[in-house]
Amino acid sequence: MSYLPSSPDLENIAGLLAKYPRRGILLFKLMEEIKGCFSPLSKGMRELIMFYTSDLNHSESCYKANKSLCKELNIDESIYAQLKVDIESAKVDEKLKPILRFVKKLTLTPDQITQADINPIYEIGWDEHALLDTVRLCAVMNCMNRLTMGIGIDKKATESKQKQTTIKSTAVYHS
């Protein structure tokens, strides 16, 4: 259900972009290019990064879409729960963990990214191409998540963000 009076029954980004196809052309072209090009990150790794980004945003609609793609790639569903709790204990390739830590920080606190966040990615053996692909995947997913939240398709995420803001404001007020 969206905030758009002309389309209150929209339930996902696909429905929005079907109604307004020109609005999503660039997003989908960018996503196709990222998914279709050669990358040091495997297809499964790229899907996991997109899933994790949507999960960090509490984007239910994007989370569901990415979750089904991860199932198609035989990515164990228990990994999703593990990543929510602790990246270090998650059963993912050790080489992917610095990238996931970076994705988390880029999604939640992008203004705090420093060279110290990038160094572990290079130190474990990834190159600039892998870093750039990670940033592009994270950026596009964050954009799609914000789009769904902004038009109300993903009200659960919007409500969750509002609760977090209220909790932070209350904590600052009482301290």
Query: For residue range 36-66, what is the model confidence (pLDDT) as tens digits?
Result: 778 899 888 888 898 889 889 887 766 666 5
170 in a structural domain? no
Residue 84 belongs to domain spanning: 41-162
14 in a structural domain? no
33 in a structural domain? no
Two tokens, residue 92: 């993912």
57 in a structural domain? yes
Among 49, 28, 51, 27, which residue's Cα sits nearest to residue 40?
A: 49
146 in a structural domain? yes
The answer to whether 154 touches 148, Cβ cutoff 8 Å, is yes
What CATH number is given to the structural domain containing 96?
Answer: 1.20.1290.10
Q: What total of structural domains would you count in the chain?
A: 1
Query: For residue range 106-134, what is the model confidence (pLDDT) as tens digits?
Result: 999 999 999 999 999 999 999 999 999 99
Could you tell me the pTM of the whole model?
0.78
